C-alpha cells in the first residue's frame, strides 16, 4: 500500500494528539529507548564517492567486486535502489546535491564552470541550524562564497575528529575513487574473471578496464573503512547518521556523459541507529537534489520552498514507525549539456524517468556526439575509454550488433523511450511503438513543464523538435 507523506503525518498527528503519546514513544525501538528526532542533533558523515555506478557493489548484487565495508553498512542500514544524479558529470552533480537545485537554477550546468554567487548551499542551511559543515577531500564546486564549507584535506580527518568538541558537525568525505585514471594493479582483479555490462562490447580492453575499475572500488571500500575506524576510536559512531552515496556512474561509454541509468543511477546507503531499521531496502525514486532538504530536516529545520528537492526523511523513519512505505517522487528529471567537458561539443539532453519508463530527448540530435574521452587516449591512464572504443570499432566490422551499439554512441534519435522494467540496460528504444505514444506525450508534457519552471535555455529547442516530430 502506498501512502502520501502528508496523509501519514496527519494520521500520526491525530493518533498522537488523541492518545497523549509523544513523538519519542512513536519512534521508540523494542528496547524502549527514546529515539525522538528532537532529542539531540545527530552528527552526520557522508561518504561521497566519485563515478560509482549503483550496480557495482556486493550489497547491490555484484558478486565479483569486494566491498565488505559498504556491504556491512547496508546490512546495518537502509539500501536504496532507485537513486539518481540530476546530471552525469562531476561538478554539476555535486553542485545540485549541495544546493538542492537542478543545474539550470543553480547556474552550474557546464562541467568545470561555477554556480551563481548568490546560490545558497549546504553550509548556509546547516550552519544556521547549529552545525559545523566540513568538506574533506575533493571539492570541484565553486565559487567559494556559494559553498562556505570548512575545507580540510582527507588526511586531516583523524585530527579533526579528535578535537571536534560538542558542536554537531556534518562531515562530507569526498573521495576521488573510483574515478579514472584506470591503471591495473599487481594482484588486482583479473580481466578474465569479470562480467561485462550489457552496455559494453565483448572486447579485451573492456574487460581490462572493468577489472581496473573494480580495483578502485575495493580501494575506496578500504578507505571508507579507515575513516570509520577513526569515527569509532573517538566514540562518534553510536548515534551518528552515516550515508554512502556517489555523484554519478562510472566513466565508460554509454554511462557517464549520458542520461542512461549506468551514468545516472547511484548507490545510496543510510545507517542511523535507532532511527533507520537495519537491513531494509527502499525502492522509492530519489534524485540527489533531494539530499539537501533531507539533511535540513534531519537537523530540525524546514526545507526552503524554493528548493527543487524534497526531504526523503519520511522514507527513513516512517517505514520503521508504520511498516508502510512512503512514495516520495512519481518522476524525476535529469539534464546534460556536454559542455565544459574536455573535447566535447554542444549536445544537450533532457530526461524524465518514472519507475517504468524513461524518456530522453536529444535536443541537438542532428549533430554527431563528440567527447575527447572517447576518441583520444589519456597518457595518465593504463587503460582508457579510447582503447575500448578502438577495439569496439574493429569488432563492429564483423559483428552487426556491435556496429549498431557503437553507432548509438555517436548518433542518437531525437526521442528515446525505454521500458525500464523489461529493459533495465536501455538497449531497446521503443519510442516508435504505437502503444507507447500516449506515454510519450504524457512524459513530454512533464518534461516541458519542468523546463519552463527551470527557465531552461533549451526550452525552445524542445518545442521546435516536438513540433517537427508531430
Structure confidence at residue 378 (pLDDT): 67
With CA atoms as reference, report the closest residue to 312 among 259, 273, 275. Answer: 275
Q: In sequence order, what are the residues at sequence separation of 6 or more whose Cβ sits closer than 8 angstroms to the Cβ of residue 451?
A: 104, 350, 458, 459, 462
Q: Taking the CA of residue 261 as centre, how many other CA atoms within 13 Å lie in the half-sphere pointing to its CB?
A: 28
CA distance 441 to 135: 43
Rounded to an integer, what distance in angstroms lies between the CA atom of residue 453 and that of residue 292? 20
- The Cβ-side half-sphere exposure at 134, using a 13 Å CA radius, reads 21
**CA 244/CA 47 separation, integer angstroms:** 5
| Contact yes or no for 57/250 (Cβ under 8 A) | no
pLDDT, residue 467, reads 56
Half-sphere exposure of 351 (CA within 13 A, CB side): 27
Q: What is the mean pLDDT of each run of 10 residues along the chain (470 residues)?
A: 38 33 29 42 97 96 97 98 96 97 92 92 98 97 97 98 93 96 90 93 95 97 98 93 97 90 97 95 97 98 95 83 70 92 89 98 93 74 84 96 93 96 95 96 96 93 68
* pLDDT value at residue 7: 38
Q: What is the pairing mode between strands 169-174 and 44-49?
A: parallel
Distance CA 430, CA 436 (A): 7
- Judge whether 313 and 298 are in contact, CB under 8 Å: yes
**What is the pLDDT, as a whole number, of residue 14?**
33
> Tell me, what's the pLDDT at 38?
43
Burial class (CB in 10 A: 0-12, 13-18, 19+), 133: buried
Q: What is the pLDDT of residue 24?
A: 28
Measured CA to CA, the distance from residue 64 to residue 188 in angstroms comes to 12
Cα–Cα distance measured from residue 105 to residue 97, given in angstroms and rounded to the nearest whole number: 13
Q: Which domains does the chain have, with CATH numbers?
A: 2-329 (3.40.720.10), 333-469 (3.30.1120.10)
Q: How far apart are CA 320 and CA 302, in angstroms?
A: 22
Per-residue pLDDT at 468: 54
Amino acid at each position: 500500500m502506498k501512502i502520501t507523506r502528508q496523509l501519514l503525518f496527519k494520521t500520526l498527528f491525530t493518533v498522537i494528539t488523541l492518545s497523549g503519546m509523544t513523538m519519542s514513544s512513536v519512534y521508540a525501538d523494542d528496547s524502549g529507548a527514546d529515539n525522538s528526532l528532537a532529542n539531540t542533533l545527530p552528527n552526520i558523515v557522508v561518504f561521497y564517492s566519485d563515478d560509482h555506478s549503483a550496480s557495482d557493489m556486493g550489497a547491490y548484487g555484484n558478486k565479483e567486486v569486494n566491498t565488505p565495508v559498504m556491504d556491512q553498512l547496508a546490512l546495518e542500514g537502509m539500501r536504496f535502489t532507485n537513486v539518481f544524479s540530476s546530471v552525469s558529470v562531476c561538478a554539476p552533480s555535486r553542485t545540485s546535491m549541495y544546493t538542492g537545485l537542478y543545474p539550470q537554477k543553480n547556474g552550474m550546468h557546464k562541467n568545470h564552470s561555477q554556480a551563481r554567487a548568490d546560490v545558497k548551499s549546504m553550509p548556509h542551511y546547516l550552519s544556521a541550524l547549529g552545525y559545523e559543515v566540513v568538506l574533506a577531500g575533493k571539492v570541484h564546486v565553486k565559487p567559494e562564497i556559494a559553498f562556505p564549507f570548512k575545507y580540510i584535506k582527507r588526511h586531516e580527518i583523524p585530527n579533526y575528529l579528535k578535537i571536534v568538541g560538542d558542536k554537531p558537525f556534518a562531515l562530507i568525505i569526498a573521495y576521488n575513487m573510483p574515478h579514472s585514471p584506470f591503471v591495473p594493479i599487481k594482484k588486482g582483479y583479473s580481466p578474465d574473471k569479470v562480467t561485462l555490462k550489457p552496455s559494453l562490447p565483448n572486447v579485451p580492453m573492456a574487460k581490462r578496464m572493468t577489472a581496473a575499475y573494480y580495483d578502485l572500488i575495493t580501494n575506496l571500500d578500504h578507505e571508507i573503512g579507515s575513516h570509520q575506524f577513526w569515527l569509532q576510536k573517538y566514540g562518534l559512531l553510536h548515534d551518528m547518521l552515516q550515508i554512502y552515496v556517489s555523484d554519478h556512474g562510472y566513466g565508460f561509454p554509454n554511462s557517464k556523459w549520458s542520461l542512461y541509468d549506468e551514468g545516472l543511477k547511484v548507490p545510496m546507503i543510510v545507517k542511523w541507529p535507532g532511527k533507520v531499521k537495519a537491513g531494509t531496502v527502499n525502492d522509492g525514486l530519489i534524485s540527489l537534489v533531494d539530499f539537501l532538504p533531507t539533511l535540513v530536516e534531519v537537523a530540525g529545520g524546514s526545507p526552503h520552498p524554493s528548493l527543487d528537492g524534497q526531504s526523503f526523511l519520511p522514507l527513513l523513519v516512517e517505514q520503521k514507525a508504520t511498516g508502510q512505505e512512503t512514495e516520495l517522487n512519481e518522476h524525476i528529471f535529469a539534464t546534460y549539456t556536454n559542455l565544459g567537458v574536455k573535447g566535447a561539443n554542444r549536445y544537450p539532453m533532457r530526461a524524465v524517468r518514472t519507475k517504468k519508463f524513461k524518456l530522453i530527448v536529444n535536443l541537438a540530435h542532428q549533430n554527431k556526439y563528440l567527447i575527447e574521452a572517447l576518441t583520444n587516449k589519456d597518457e595518465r591512464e593504463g587503460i582508457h575509454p579510447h582503447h575500448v572504443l578502438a577495439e569496439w570499432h574493429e569488432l563492429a566490422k564483423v559483428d552487426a550488433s556491435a556496429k549498431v551499439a557503437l553507432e548509438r554512441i555517436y548518433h542518437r534519435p531525437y526521442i528515446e523511450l525505454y521500458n525500464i522494467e523489461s529493459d533495465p540496460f536501455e538497449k531497446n528504444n521503443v519510442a516508435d511503438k504505437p502503444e507507447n505514444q500516449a506515454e510519450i506525450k504524457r512524459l513530454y508534457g512533464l518534461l516541458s513543464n519542468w523546463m519552463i519552471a527551470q527557465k531552461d535555455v533549451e526550452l525552445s529547442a524542445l518545442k521546435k523538435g516536438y513540433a517537427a516530430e508531430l
